[in-house]
Amino acid sequence: FLKGKTAIVTGSTSGIGLAYARAFAAEGAAVVLNGFGDAEQIERLRAELAATSGAAALYDAADMTRPDDIAALVDRAVRETGSVDIAVNNAGIQHVAPIEDFPPDRMEAIIRINLLSAWYVARAAVPHMKAAGWGRIITTASAHSLVASPNKSAYVMAKHGIAGLTKTLALETAQHGVTVNCISPGYVWTPLVEAQIPDTMTARGLTRDQVMNDVLLAAQPTKEFVTPEQVAALALFLCRDEAKAITGANLSVDGGWTAA
Ligand code: NAD
């Protein structure tokens, strides 16, 4: 149902972003992949997406800390595929440390990548969406857009910011056929989660098993990790015409975490 449409997904070389890209391609959308990684592996993913969709699949190496890169990515998508209909802000990083030990450069990188990049993507994409009279902006927020955990000051600050940005943009685009929503997963089993286990072990003096069961899944009543595919399925639904009344929402996919 997305034939003829173009989806940009920031941070889509891995994890949840890759699951979004695959879900959009499976519905026939042209997809713009973005993120870091091994060049050969990224080219394999790009070719896989083009084969799945039967449409264009581009890779753009835009660094989400750089506003000029972001504007160029959106321009390129429009130039090479004809439009930008769906923009998914998904690139994200994490750093876990108590505030007194938190390196300022890590805090600033998290704010740039997890929060400011979404503002710059929207700033570049909204004019095209308004002109087309249709658009979908979706951001991967987090349960940490609604509640906090210790030692994640920068991440929680960025994700709460995403929730506010989502509401504001929804109001600005409400009469233009554009919806703006964020999806707030609990713990999803991806490289980002795996990578924070050692830091959490150090910060809290715990073993790997203790971090998995007593820290990560402690908050998730289902005691199961969310899957990237479950998150992508909701994004796909948000792109359907049936979802056009859903805007400005923060949709939890968190195994009951924020119900507690
Ligand atoms: P991941 O590490 O697997 O993927 C992150 C992606 O972002 C990668 O493609 C990486 O290359 C890209 N990226 C990082 N820095 C970038 C930069 N400067 N410019 C461009 N791309 C950059 O992580 P993930 O778990 O799939 O996370 C994706 C999003 O989901 C993040 O915003 C994260 O905060 C959010 N999230 C994840 C979880 C979880 O449990 N995994 C839960 C809630 C929210």
- Tell me if 217 is assigned to some domain: no
d(CA 30, CA 14): 18
Which pLDDT value is given to residue 216?
A: 85
Amino acid at 230: Q
Which pLDDT value is given to residue 243?
A: 98
Atom of ligand 1 nearest to the CA of 63: 19
Phi, psi for 151 (deg, rounded to 5) = 75, 15
- Tell me if 53 is assigned to some domain: yes
Which pLDDT value is given to residue 228?
A: 97
How many CB atoms neighbour CB 243 within 10 A?
16
How many CB atoms neighbour CB 103 within 10 A?
11
- Note down the domain range covering 118: 6-188+227-259
Which pLDDT value is given to residue 250?
A: 98
Report how far ligand 1's centroid is from the alpha carbon of 11 (Å). Answer: 6
Beta-sheet pairing, 86-89 with 135-140: parallel
d(CA 237, CA 234): 5
Which pLDDT value is given to residue 196?
A: 80
Cα-to-chain-centroid distance, residue 162: 10
Rounded percentage of the chain residues whose pLDDT exceeds 90: 91
Pocket of ligand 1 (CB under 6 A): 10-17, 34-37, 63-65, 90-93, 113-114, 140, 142, 185, 187-188, 190-193
Considering only 1-10, 109-118, 136-145, 187-196, which range has the smallest mean pLDDT? Answer: 187-196
Name the band, by pLDDT with cuts 50, 70 and 90, for residue 89: very high
Number of domains in the chain: 1
- Tell me if 211 is assigned to some domain: no
Q: What is the mean pLDDT of residues 13-25?
A: 97
- List for the chain the helix, strand, coil content (%; round to 5): 55, 15, 30
Per DSSP, the three-state class of 179 is strand
Q: Is the pLDDT of residue 32 over 80?
A: yes
Higher-pLDDT residue of 190 and 237 is 237
Which pLDDT value is given to residue 191?
A: 83
In the block, tokens 């998290």 appear at: 110
120 catalytic residue (yes or no): no
CATH number for the domain including 94?
A: 3.40.50.720
Tokens of 171: 């109001």
- Tell me if 206 is assigned to some domain: no
- Tell me if 1 is assigned to some domain: no
Which pLDDT value is given to residue 178?
A: 99
| Identified catalytic residue from 20, 120, 155, 187 | 155
- Tell me if 248 is assigned to some domain: yes
For residue 252, list its beta bridge partners.
184
Phi, psi for 185 (deg, rounded to 5) = -75, 155
Give the residue whose CA is nearest to atom 6 of ligand 1. Answer: 11
Q: Pick from 12, 1, 26, 5: which is nearest to 134 by CA?
A: 5
User: Contact 30/54 with Cβ under 8 angstroms?
Assistant: no
Which pLDDT value is given to residue 181?
A: 99
For the chain, what is the mean pLDDT?
Answer: 96
Q: What is the mean pLDDT of residues 176-205?
A: 92
Rounded percentage of the chain residues whose pLDDT exceeds 70: 100
Higher-pLDDT residue of 203 and 72 is 72
User: Contact 141/166 with Cβ under 8 angstroms?
Assistant: yes
Summarize pLDDT for 207-258 with one digit per residue, the tens: 998 998 888 898 899 999 999 999 999 999 999 999 999 999 999 999 999 9
- Tell me if 199 is assigned to some domain: no
